[in-house]
Protein backbone atom coordinates (compact mmCIF):
# COMPACT_ATOMS: atom_id res chain seq x y z
CA UNK A 1 0.00 0.00 0.00
CA UNK A 2 1.32 3.44 -0.94
CA UNK A 3 1.00 5.94 1.87
CA UNK A 4 -1.14 8.71 0.39
CA UNK A 5 -0.02 12.34 0.53
CA UNK A 6 -1.54 15.47 -1.00
CA UNK A 7 -0.29 15.67 -4.60
CA UNK A 8 1.80 18.58 -5.85
CA UNK A 9 -0.17 19.29 -9.01
CA UNK A 10 1.16 22.77 -9.66
CA UNK A 11 4.91 22.52 -10.09
CA UNK A 12 6.32 25.91 -11.13
CA UNK A 13 7.70 24.53 -14.37
CA UNK A 14 4.11 24.05 -15.59
CA UNK A 15 3.49 27.78 -15.79
CA UNK A 16 6.95 29.24 -16.32
CA UNK A 17 7.42 30.84 -19.76
CA UNK A 18 9.90 29.11 -22.05
CA UNK A 19 11.28 29.90 -25.52
CA UNK A 20 9.45 28.57 -28.54
CA UNK A 21 11.23 25.70 -30.30
CA UNK A 22 13.27 26.55 -33.41
CA UNK A 23 11.22 24.09 -35.49
CA UNK A 24 8.07 22.03 -35.28
CA UNK A 25 7.42 19.22 -37.74
CA UNK A 26 4.40 17.02 -38.36
CA UNK A 27 4.66 13.27 -37.93
CA UNK A 28 1.01 12.62 -38.83
CA UNK A 29 -2.20 14.30 -39.95
CA UNK A 30 -3.69 15.07 -36.53
CA UNK A 31 -2.75 18.42 -34.90
CA UNK A 32 -1.28 16.54 -31.94
CA UNK A 33 0.98 14.39 -34.11
CA UNK A 34 3.89 16.82 -34.09
CA UNK A 35 7.45 17.08 -32.83
CA UNK A 36 9.26 20.20 -31.61
CA UNK A 37 12.94 20.31 -32.54
CA UNK A 38 16.05 21.89 -31.06
CA UNK A 39 18.49 20.56 -33.67
CA UNK A 40 22.24 20.85 -34.22
CA UNK A 41 23.80 19.46 -31.07
CA UNK A 42 27.44 18.54 -30.58
CA UNK A 43 29.19 16.25 -33.10
CA UNK A 44 28.15 12.64 -32.77
CA UNK A 45 25.52 13.28 -30.10
CA UNK A 46 22.32 11.22 -30.42
CA UNK A 47 18.93 12.90 -30.54
CA UNK A 48 17.26 13.14 -27.13
CA UNK A 49 13.49 12.71 -27.43
CA UNK A 50 11.32 14.08 -24.63
CA UNK A 51 7.84 12.70 -23.95
CA UNK A 52 5.76 14.84 -21.58
CA UNK A 53 3.40 13.67 -18.87
CA UNK A 54 0.07 14.83 -17.49
CA UNK A 55 -1.55 11.47 -16.68
CA UNK A 56 -2.35 11.05 -20.42
CA UNK A 57 -5.01 13.77 -20.13
CA UNK A 58 -5.67 16.34 -22.89
CA UNK A 59 -5.29 19.41 -20.66
CA UNK A 60 -1.50 18.95 -20.30
CA UNK A 61 0.68 19.21 -23.39
CA UNK A 62 4.37 19.35 -24.31
CA UNK A 63 4.80 23.06 -23.54
CA UNK A 64 5.95 22.46 -19.96
CA UNK A 65 9.06 20.49 -21.08
CA UNK A 66 10.32 23.32 -23.31
CA UNK A 67 12.49 24.69 -20.50
CA UNK A 68 14.00 21.24 -20.12
CA UNK A 69 14.55 20.91 -23.87
CA UNK A 70 16.26 24.30 -24.08
CA UNK A 71 18.49 23.48 -21.10
CA UNK A 72 19.60 20.19 -22.64
CA UNK A 73 20.20 21.85 -25.99
CA UNK A 74 22.38 24.45 -24.26
CA UNK A 75 24.55 21.56 -23.10
CA UNK A 76 25.16 20.43 -26.66
CA UNK A 77 22.39 17.90 -27.19
CA UNK A 78 19.99 17.86 -30.14
CA UNK A 79 16.50 17.57 -28.67
CA UNK A 80 13.01 16.69 -29.89
CA UNK A 81 9.77 16.89 -27.91
CA UNK A 82 6.87 14.71 -28.99
CA UNK A 83 3.21 15.57 -28.82
CA UNK A 84 0.64 12.80 -29.00
CA UNK A 85 -3.10 12.30 -28.93
CA UNK A 86 -4.51 12.20 -25.42
CA UNK A 87 -8.02 10.81 -25.76
CA UNK A 88 -9.52 9.22 -22.63
CA UNK A 89 -10.30 5.59 -23.26
CA UNK A 90 -8.17 5.36 -26.42
CA UNK A 91 -4.71 4.34 -25.20
CA UNK A 92 -3.81 2.75 -28.51
CA UNK A 93 -3.85 6.15 -30.23
CA UNK A 94 -1.45 7.52 -27.62
CA UNK A 95 0.95 4.58 -27.88
CA UNK A 96 0.79 4.61 -31.68
CA UNK A 97 1.64 8.33 -31.82
CA UNK A 98 4.66 7.95 -29.55
CA UNK A 99 5.97 5.03 -31.59
CA UNK A 100 5.33 6.94 -34.82
CA UNK A 101 7.26 9.92 -33.47
CA UNK A 102 10.16 7.72 -32.42
CA UNK A 103 10.22 6.05 -35.83
CA UNK A 104 10.34 9.47 -37.50
CA UNK A 105 13.16 10.55 -35.20
CA UNK A 106 15.05 7.32 -35.80
CA UNK A 107 14.71 7.73 -39.57
CA UNK A 108 16.74 10.94 -39.50
CA UNK A 109 18.94 10.47 -36.43
CA UNK A 110 19.33 6.76 -35.75
CA UNK A 111 18.65 5.24 -32.32
CA UNK A 112 17.55 7.93 -29.89
CA UNK A 113 17.75 8.55 -26.15
CA UNK A 114 14.22 8.73 -24.77
CA UNK A 115 13.35 10.77 -21.69
CA UNK A 116 9.78 10.63 -20.42
CA UNK A 117 8.20 12.36 -17.43
CA UNK A 118 5.35 10.83 -15.41
CA UNK A 119 2.89 9.37 -17.96
CA UNK A 120 5.60 10.07 -20.53
CA UNK A 121 7.84 7.79 -18.48
CA UNK A 122 5.27 5.04 -18.91
CA UNK A 123 5.22 5.69 -22.65
CA UNK A 124 8.99 5.56 -23.14
CA UNK A 125 9.25 2.36 -21.09
CA UNK A 126 6.55 0.78 -23.24
CA UNK A 127 8.25 1.95 -26.45
CA UNK A 128 11.66 0.62 -25.37
CA UNK A 129 10.15 -2.83 -24.88
CA UNK A 130 7.87 -2.73 -27.94
CA UNK A 131 10.40 -1.46 -30.52
CA UNK A 132 13.85 -1.58 -28.96
CA UNK A 133 15.66 -0.93 -32.25
CA UNK A 134 14.47 2.70 -32.07
CA UNK A 135 16.08 3.40 -28.71
CA UNK A 136 19.65 3.36 -27.45
CA UNK A 137 18.80 4.32 -23.84
CA UNK A 138 15.67 5.08 -21.82
CA UNK A 139 15.42 7.52 -18.92
CA UNK A 140 11.95 7.62 -17.34
CA UNK A 141 11.51 10.40 -14.78
CA UNK A 142 8.93 9.80 -12.04
CA UNK A 143 7.25 7.29 -14.38
CA UNK A 144 3.88 5.60 -14.03
CA UNK A 145 5.89 2.43 -14.51
CA UNK A 146 3.41 -0.03 -12.98
CA UNK A 147 -0.11 0.56 -14.26
CA UNK A 148 -1.55 -2.14 -12.04
CA UNK A 149 -0.22 -0.54 -8.87
CA UNK A 150 -1.11 2.97 -10.04
CA UNK A 151 -4.66 1.79 -10.75
CA UNK A 152 -4.98 0.03 -7.40
CA UNK A 153 -3.82 3.20 -5.62
CA UNK A 154 -6.09 5.45 -7.72
CA UNK A 155 -3.22 7.74 -8.68
CA UNK A 156 -4.29 10.91 -10.43
CA UNK A 157 -7.92 10.42 -9.35
CA UNK A 158 -8.47 7.45 -11.61
CA UNK A 159 -5.95 8.44 -14.29
CA UNK A 160 -5.09 4.88 -15.31
CA UNK A 161 -8.71 3.84 -15.83
CA UNK A 162 -9.48 7.07 -17.68
CA UNK A 163 -6.51 6.45 -19.97
CA UNK A 164 -7.22 2.78 -20.62
CA UNK A 165 -11.00 2.94 -20.58
CA UNK A 166 -11.07 0.25 -17.90
CA UNK A 167 -8.94 -1.44 -15.26
CA UNK A 168 -5.23 -1.99 -15.77
CA UNK A 169 -5.80 -5.75 -15.60
CA UNK A 170 -7.56 -5.53 -18.97
CA UNK A 171 -4.54 -4.02 -20.75
CA UNK A 172 -1.48 -5.72 -19.37
CA UNK A 173 0.04 -5.35 -22.85
CA UNK A 174 0.42 -1.63 -22.09
CA UNK A 175 1.83 -2.10 -18.57
CA UNK A 176 5.64 -1.80 -18.50
CA UNK A 177 5.82 -3.66 -15.19
CA UNK A 178 3.98 -6.64 -16.65
CA UNK A 179 5.72 -6.59 -20.02
CA UNK A 180 9.13 -7.64 -21.29
CA UNK A 181 12.33 -6.04 -20.10
CA UNK A 182 13.75 -3.53 -22.60
CA UNK A 183 17.07 -4.83 -23.92
CA UNK A 184 18.76 -1.43 -23.78
CA UNK A 185 19.80 0.45 -20.64
CA UNK A 186 17.02 1.89 -18.48
CA UNK A 187 17.74 4.51 -15.82
CA UNK A 188 14.79 5.70 -13.74
CA UNK A 189 15.06 9.01 -11.88
CA UNK A 190 12.51 9.56 -9.12
CA UNK A 191 12.14 11.98 -6.22
CA UNK A 192 11.45 10.38 -2.86
CA UNK A 193 9.03 13.22 -1.95
CA UNK A 194 6.89 12.67 -5.06
CA UNK A 195 3.22 12.61 -4.07
CA UNK A 196 1.80 12.45 -7.61
CA UNK A 197 3.58 9.24 -8.59
CA UNK A 198 5.18 7.94 -5.40
CA UNK A 199 8.58 6.26 -5.50
CA UNK A 200 7.19 2.77 -4.76
CA UNK A 201 5.73 2.74 -8.28
CA UNK A 202 9.25 2.78 -9.72
CA UNK A 203 10.49 0.30 -7.15
CA UNK A 204 7.70 -2.07 -8.17
CA UNK A 205 8.90 -1.87 -11.77
CA UNK A 206 12.45 -2.65 -10.67
CA UNK A 207 11.27 -5.67 -8.70
CA UNK A 208 10.15 -7.18 -12.02
CA UNK A 209 12.93 -5.72 -14.16
CA UNK A 210 16.04 -5.80 -11.99
CA UNK A 211 18.39 -4.87 -14.85
CA UNK A 212 16.97 -1.33 -14.70
CA UNK A 213 18.74 1.24 -12.56
CA UNK A 214 17.05 3.59 -10.10
CA UNK A 215 18.48 6.99 -9.18
CA UNK A 216 16.60 8.37 -6.18
CA UNK A 217 16.43 12.13 -5.76
CA UNK A 218 16.20 12.83 -2.02
CA UNK A 219 13.74 15.51 -0.97
CA UNK A 220 12.41 16.18 -4.47
CA UNK A 221 8.81 16.16 -5.66
CA UNK A 222 7.19 15.24 -8.95
CA UNK A 223 8.20 18.29 -10.98
CA UNK A 224 11.66 19.17 -9.64
CA UNK A 225 13.46 16.60 -11.86
CA UNK A 226 12.18 18.30 -15.04
CA UNK A 227 12.78 21.84 -13.81
CA UNK A 228 16.19 23.27 -14.84
CA UNK A 229 15.96 25.76 -11.95
CA UNK A 230 15.67 23.01 -9.31
CA UNK A 231 18.48 21.46 -7.31
CA UNK A 232 17.54 18.08 -8.79
CA UNK A 233 18.36 19.23 -12.30
CA UNK A 234 22.12 18.73 -12.21
CA UNK A 235 21.69 15.03 -11.40
CA UNK A 236 19.06 14.60 -14.10
CA UNK A 237 21.12 16.43 -16.72
CA UNK A 238 24.22 14.41 -15.82
CA UNK A 239 22.36 11.12 -16.33
CA UNK A 240 20.94 12.24 -19.69
CA UNK A 241 24.36 13.43 -20.87
CA UNK A 242 25.91 10.13 -19.82
CA UNK A 243 23.28 8.17 -21.75
CA UNK A 244 23.96 10.35 -24.80
CA UNK A 245 27.74 9.99 -24.67
Q: How far apart are CA 90 and CA 233, in angstroms?
A: 33
Q: How far apart are CA 56 and CA 102, in angstroms?
A: 18
The pTM of this model reads: 0.94
With a cut of 80, say whether residue 182 has pLDDT above it: yes
Domains in the chain (CATH in brackets) are 12-243 (3.40.50.1820)
pLDDT single digits (tens) 67-76: 999 999 999 9
Burial-class residue 232 by CB neighbours within 10 Å (0-12, 13-18, 19+).
buried
Q: What is the pLDDT of residue 2?
A: 54
With a cut of 90, say whether residue 44 has pLDDT above it: no
With a cut of 90, say whether residue 41 has pLDDT above it: no
- How many angstroms separate the Cα of 183 from the Cα of each of 8, 62, 86, 127, 137? 33, 27, 28, 11, 9
pLDDT single digits (tens) 187-197: 999 999 999 99
pLDDT single digits (tens) 220-231: 999 999 999 999
Tell me the mean pLDDT in the region 142-167. 98
**95: number of Cβ within 10 Å:** 19
Amino acid sequence: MIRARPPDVNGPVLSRPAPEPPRTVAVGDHPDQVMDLWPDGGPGRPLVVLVHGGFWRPRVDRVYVRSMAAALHARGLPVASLEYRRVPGDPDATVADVLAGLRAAHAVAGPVVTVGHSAGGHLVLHAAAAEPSLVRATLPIAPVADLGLADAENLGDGAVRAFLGGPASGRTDLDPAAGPTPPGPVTILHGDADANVPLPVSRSYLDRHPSARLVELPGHDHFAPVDPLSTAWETVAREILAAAS
